[in-house]
Amino acid sequence: MDATPSIQEPADVGEAATAGVARQTVDLLVALCLGVLLFRTFSAEAYVVPTGSMAPTLLGHHRELTCANCQFPFDVGLDEEAPPARPVCPNCGRAGSDAQPVVACNGDRVLVQKFLYDFRAPGRWEVAVFHFPGDPSQAYVKRVVGLPGESIRIAGGDVWVDGVVARKSLQDVRAMRILVHDSRYVPADSDRYPRWSFRRGTTARPEPTGWTQGPDGFRRAATEPEGDAEDWLTYRNWDPALDRYAPIRDFYGYNGGDSRSDNAVRDVGLEARVALGPGVESLAVSLRSGGDRFVVRIPTRPEEPVEVVRNGARRKVFILGNPLASDGGAETTHTLEASLFDDRLMVAVDGSLLFEPLDYDDPDDGPGNDESPIALGVRGGTLHVPEVRIFRDVHYTSSLGAAHRRPHAVLDAYRLGEGEYFVLGDNSPISNDSRFWAEGPVVPRSLFLGKPFLVHLPGKLVALEVMGRSFYWIPDPRRIRYIH
């Protein structure tokens, strides 16, 4: 008779299991280290951004603060060679946050896709890492704006290519737009200095408005009679530097309140969440740029067309679709985006363009923007707007802080040669980029290292009681984001 196998004691089973788990853990760690090593060697490499020349897209060493007036969180750069900047909230314009709790943060850590530009050329509006032509041992990160063979000029805050303003796609607008105001953060002084006004009809013949503002945002109730006029929710811009209502200017909260912001910005946009209630006939958005005023009306009835009006005259556009149009009249929630950047009008609902971008090469340089360049209107019914964010475009300047340098491609256009690129920083007032390099404004393609695609390990310094009070760097997962 064959002997049956003996059953091992529990202690032996436990030892074997422990040994198996330990071996699996070691194998996993070895495989992970090899994977990271191969990934870094052949695909990606990590870099730290030390300065704020690309803010707010990428942050250098900075401080995190929360405004005492509106509770808006914002960042202020830390320049190792200068005293800390005076913080001014970019959302409500309130200064005096010096006494607020401050969290010191390192510069963004980015993963760079290496060798990408060995297979294709850098594209316009891409963020790229390259060897600085003046000192190839240093790596710079900027945004590509000029391509080989092009004539580049910076005028009116925009980039001009071969005599035509360089325009952005919807994705580029989202990547580069700079926040001016977020309605979710209501200033404590909004009763004295309201950032929003409600208007229906004309100044000479006003009509009842249904708009109110509360803790959950803006609500529009049906009025009697409704009539044919839109009921407008209008943004009023508070200038942080002037401490009064004024047109939007190129203020950067990251640079602090002592930085100059002398340039009025014509390129504006909004993003809003809207919940349409019963009876809404149409939504409208009004955008002003210089002497131009565009009004886009989006109906909720399928049989009615989207209407685009410029300075009182209807413009023909190619309609791509209208997510607001429905047959049932049920309550729906949507995200509305509208921008007037680079002499291009774009409106999107739920991420999709309503019509092909409307470009115009004859901008009206009239009296300029006023303090209310953006408004959201509704005709009929009830509407809930829990959030509206106001944006501006990057405005490229001709000076670098207090430095006196003759800039490239400002007074005269600069012609790029074969394999040459022109690069700029998003934080234009402090960015040392192609405009100001003494060695010349170009980056040869051979100096490009790759494209950053992820802020992968942002962090901050936190005081912890570990072996005495010390400061420790800890990761901040809120800041992990893709880079466009």
Q: Residue 404: is its pLDDT beyond 70?
A: no
The owner of tokens 């530009």 is 117
Q: Distance (Å, rounded) from C-alpha 327 to C-alpha 300? A: 8
Q: Are 45 and 111 in contact (CB under 8 A)?
A: yes
Tokens of 216: 């959950």
Q: Residue 292: is its pLDDT beyond 90?
A: yes
Average pLDDT over residues 13-19: 49
Q: Distance (Å, rounded) from C-alpha 344 to C-alpha 225? A: 36
- 203 pLDDT tier (thresholds 50, 70, 90): confident
Q: Distance (Å, rounded) from C-alpha 411 to C-alpha 408? A: 7
Q: Distance (Å, rounded) from C-alpha 112 to C-alpha 433? A: 20
Q: Which amino acid is at 203?
A: T
Tokens of 223: 């009025």
Q: Residue 236: is its pLDDT beyond 80?
A: yes
Tokens of 148: 């080989």
Model pLDDT, residue 21:
53
Tokens of 116: 């990408």
Model pLDDT, residue 308:
98
- 272 pLDDT tier (thresholds 50, 70, 90): very high
Length of the chain: 484
Which 3-state string (H, E, C) describes the chain? Answer: CCCCCCCCCHHHHHHHHHHHHHHHHHHHHHHHHHHHHHHHHHCEEEEECCCCCCCCCCCCCEEEEECCCCCCEEEEECCCCCCCCCCECCCCCCECHHHCCCEEECCCEEEEEECHHHCCCCCCCCEEEEEECCEEEEEEEEEEEECCCCEEEEECCEEEECCEECCCCHHHHHHHCEEEEECCCCCCCCCCCCCEEEEEECCCCECCCCEEEECCEEEECCCCCCCCCCEEEEECCEECCCCEECCCECCCHHHCCCCCCCCECCCEEEEEEEEECCCCCEEEEEEEECCEEEEEEEECCCCCCCEEEECCEEECCCECCCCCCCCCCCCEEEEEEEEEECCEEEEEECCEECECCEECCCCCCCCCCCCCCEEEEEECCCEEEEEEEEEECCCCCCCECCECCCCCCCCCCEECCCCEEEEECCCHHHCCCCCCCCCCCEEEHHHEEEEEEEECCCEEEEEEECCCEEEEEEECHHHCEECC
Model pLDDT, residue 459:
62
Q: Distance (Å, rounded) from C-alpha 362 to C-alpha 134? A: 39
Model pLDDT, residue 229:
86
Q: Distance (Å, rounded) from C-alpha 239 to C-alpha 249? A: 8
Which 3-state string (H, E, C) describes 66-101? Answer: ECCCCCCEEEEECCCCCCCCCCECCCCCCECHHHCC
Task: Choose among 144, 234, 189, 220: nearest CA to 380.
Answer: 220
Q: Which range, of 96-100, 124-128, 169-173, 420-424, averages the lowest pLDDT?
A: 96-100
Summary mean pLDDT of the chain? 87
Q: Residue 160: is its pLDDT beyond 80?
A: yes
Model pLDDT, residue 147:
98
Model pLDDT, residue 1:
35
Q: How many CA atoms lie within 13 A of 64 on its CB side?
A: 15
Model pLDDT, residue 248:
95
Tokens of 220: 């529009």
Task: Choose among 427, 458, 23, 10: nearest CA to 254.
Answer: 427
Q: Residue 10: is its pLDDT beyond 90?
A: no
Task: Choose among 60, 66, 90: nearest CA to 78.
Answer: 60
Model pLDDT, residue 8:
33
